Amino acid sequence: CRERVNNPAQIPVEAPAAEKEAVRIYNSTGELVKTLVDGNMSAGFHQVTWDATDNSGNEISSGIYFCKITAGMHTQMKKIIFSK
């Protein structure tokens, strides 16, 4: 799944059950850029917003990023191409 976005990005997340979810953004070298969600979510579809900043609040540069979505035992990766 590839998504080309500008600021901010809307990331669709499906929680199969009410359980702990994690939504994290990584750069192309695998370094953690931003944690968007780290906690319990209700079952169903959600939209998570990424404001194109890192965990320190700094604006990120254009490039390729990866969104890792973990729900229970399930993991999904999404490729995000960010351009300013």
Q: Please state the rounded mean pLDDT for residues 41-66.
A: 91
> What tokens does 61 get?
């540069």
* Single-letter amino acid code for the residue at 44: G
User: pLDDT tens digits for 1-18?
Assistant: 445 555 678 888 887 777
User: pLDDT tens digits for 66-81?
Assistant: 999 998 888 999 998 8
Sheet holding 32-41, edge to edge: 2-5, 74-82, 63-71, 19-27, 32-41
